[in-house]
Structure 1
Amino acid sequence: MDRPELPLPQLHAFVVLAEELHFGHAAARLGIAQPPLSQQIRRLEDKVGHALFTREPGRVALTPAGRELLPAARRALSELADGLAASRAVGSGRTGRLRIGFAASLALTVLPGLLRTHRERFPEVRLDIHEMTTAPQLAALHDRTIDLGLLREPPADEPQLDFRTVLTEPFVAVLPSSHALAAQRSVRVGQLAESPFVLLPRAVGPQLYDRIAGLCASAGFTPRVAQHAVEWQTVCALVETGLGVSLAPASIRRIRLKGVAFRRIEPATVRTRVAVGRRRGDQNPLVAHLLAGLSVT
């Protein structure tokens, strides 16, 4: 047997009349005239197939069918109100889930302040944070498994993605403390030509790898890579053991290792770009709110 569809305006009119038990008072509360209220109740009774109220001069009362319907009608209206409130909260970006990918080194720079500010402004938004290198972030943005990515040296040929610069920072030389160049306050890239290198694999961050290789090429040499490491923390640890030297973003200096020296690169105008990436045309208000907390260009 098919269940009759009960329009919500008729349920609302029914609940108000059940509470007032007076057509005039219920109509005033609903902001309508009494005849339209009577029509709403009659239509609802036609759908139910039974009278919901007894009508006597000066007295309105619920029938057994009306008493049975009242709790369900109140639940339906309450659930609708809750659903509308939740929908408005998500639509306005006040609640929901935001998935963010970030390069590990950015935990040393922009990420902590960004997350702290966002949580203060939108405490009901759930933030899912995923540590990822650049290539996996790009794939995750395309696959829609993250909403935003914070990464280094974004590619120039991603028509479906949009990148905005968050900051730029200089490179530094990462040296074993025992290295001869550690005695200097700054080094030129060309002075590293004879040293083996510890670098991130190109596959995890092609643009950054090529940027570092380009710096070496401009200084007249190709870096001789002795060891690869996926994370900057590991790169620094391997440099400390004497396996080689590296070139890294300046924020890596916050990794404190006794046997590692960080020296600025000359010229200091050589910098690496940090950007926030998202899908073009994404209208997610959660994304817009987080971007508003960043100084982007």
Structure 2
Amino acid sequence: MERPELPLPQLHAFVVLAEELHFGHAAARLGIAQPPLSQQIRRLEDKVGHALFTRAPGRVTLTPAGSELLPAARRALTDLSDGLAAARAVGSGRAGRLRIGFAASLALTILPGLLRTFRHQFPGVHLDIHEMTTAPQIAALHHQTIDIGLLREPPTDETGLGFRTVLSEPFVAVLPSTHHLAAQRVVQLAQLADSPFVLLPRMVGPPLHDQIIGLCTAAGFTPQVVQHAVEWQTVCALVETGLGVSLAPASIRRIRLKGVAFRRIEPDTARTRVAVAWRENNHDPLLTHLLATISQDPPDRS
């Protein structure tokens, strides 16, 4: 048997009349005249198939059918009100879910402050955070499994994606504390020519990998890479074992390992860029709010 559809205006009129038990008072509360209210109630009773009120001069009471309908009618109106409020919150960017990819090293720089600020401004937004290197972030953006990425050395040939540089920082030499160059405050890049290197594999971040190789090439040598590691913390841990040296963004110095020394390099003109990336066809207000948060509170670019 097909279930009758109950229009919400009729349910609203029914609930108000059930609360007032007086047609005149209910009509005034609804802001309508009594005849339209009576028509709404009759239409609802026709759909139910039973009287919902008993009517007597100066007196209106709920019938058993009306008493049974009243809790469900109230729930329906409350659910609708809650749903409309939730939809408005999501539509305005005050609620919802934002999926963020980030390079692990950014947990040492801009990520904590950015998330704190955004959560303070938009406490109703759920942040879904994914630690990812650059290449997987680019793929995830294209596949729409993340909404925004925070990555190092963004590619220059990606169509459909927008990029904005939010931070740049110099490179440092990462040395075992027992390395003979660890005694120096500043290391000339050419001095690393004879040392084995531990680097991130090119596939996880081609532009950054190529930039490091390019720095070495400009200093007159090609680094002898003996080991790859996907995360900078792992790179540092392998350096600590004496396996080799590395070049890394300066923020890596916040990784505290007793057996690792971080030293300035010369020439120090090279900078690694951190960028925010997003799909250009993504018009979600949550994305707009996060981009605005980054612009309002830009990180230190020293």
TM over 0.5: yes
Secondary structure class of the residue paired with 1:45:
helix
- 1:185-238 per-residue CA deviation (whole Å, 9 max, x = no partner) reads 222322222221110111111111011111122222221111111111121122
- Maintained 8 Å contact 2:189/2:267: no
Q: Distance in 2 between matches of 1:115 and 1:166?
A: 14
Q: Cα distance, 1:155 vs. partner?
A: 0.8
**2:128 maps to what in 1?**
128
Q: Cα distance, 1:268 vs. partner?
A: 2.6
**1:140 maps to what in 2?**
140
- 1:158-197 per-residue CA deviation (whole Å, 9 max, x = no partner) reads 1122111110000111122233332322223222222211
Q: Cα distance, 1:105 vs. partner?
A: 0.7
Matches within 5 A, 1:261-280: 261-280=261-280
Q: What's the Cα RMSD here?
A: 1.8
Q: Distance in 1 between matches of 2:21 and 2:256?
A: 76
Secondary structure class of the residue paired with 2:156:
coil
Q: Cα distance, 1:293 vs. partner?
A: 2.1
Q: Distance in 1 between matches of 2:267 and 2:217?
A: 15
Q: Cα distance, 1:52 vs. partner?
A: 2.0
Q: Distance in 2 between matches of 1:235 and 1:41?
A: 74
**2:6 maps to what in 1?**
6
**1:109 maps to what in 2?**
109
Shift >4 Å, 4+ stretches: none
**2:219 maps to what in 1?**
219
Normalised by the size of structure 1, how large is the TM-score? 0.93
Q: Distance in 1 between matches of 2:34 and 2:166?
A: 61
Letter matched to residue 97 of structure 2? R
Q: Cα distance, 1:36 vs. partner?
A: 1.6
**1:95 maps to what in 2?**
95
Letter matched to residue 54 of structure 2? T
Q: Distance in 1 between matches of 2:50 and 2:226?
A: 86
**2:59 maps to what in 1?**
59
Letter matched to residue 178 of structure 1? T
**1:191 maps to what in 2?**
191
Letter matched to residue 213 of structure 2? A
Percent sequence identity is 81
Q: Which moved more, 1:83-92 or 1:104-113?
A: 83-92
How many positions carry a matched residue from both structures?
Answer: 297
Q: Distance in 2 between matches of 1:96 and 1:235?
A: 37
Q: Distance in 2 between matches of 1:260 and 1:78?
A: 61
Secondary structure class of the residue paired with 1:86:
helix
- Maintained 8 Å contact 2:169/2:250: yes
Letter matched to residue 277 of structure 1? A
Q: Distance in 2 between matches of 1:130 and 1:64?
A: 55
Q: Cα distance, 1:256 vs. partner?
A: 1.7
Q: Cα distance, 1:94 vs. partner?
A: 2.6
Q: Cα distance, 1:66 vs. partner?
A: 1.9
- 1:46-95 per-residue CA deviation (whole Å, 9 max, x = no partner) reads 22222222233222222232222222111111111122222222223333
Letter matched to residue 154 of structure 1? P
**1:247 maps to what in 2?**
247
**1:47 maps to what in 2?**
47
Q: Cα distance, 1:279 vs. partner?
A: 1.5
Letter matched to residue 247 of structure 2? L
- Maintained 8 Å contact 2:171/2:271: yes
Q: Which moved more, 1:215-224 or 1:167-176?
A: 215-224
Letter matched to residue 294 of structure 1? I
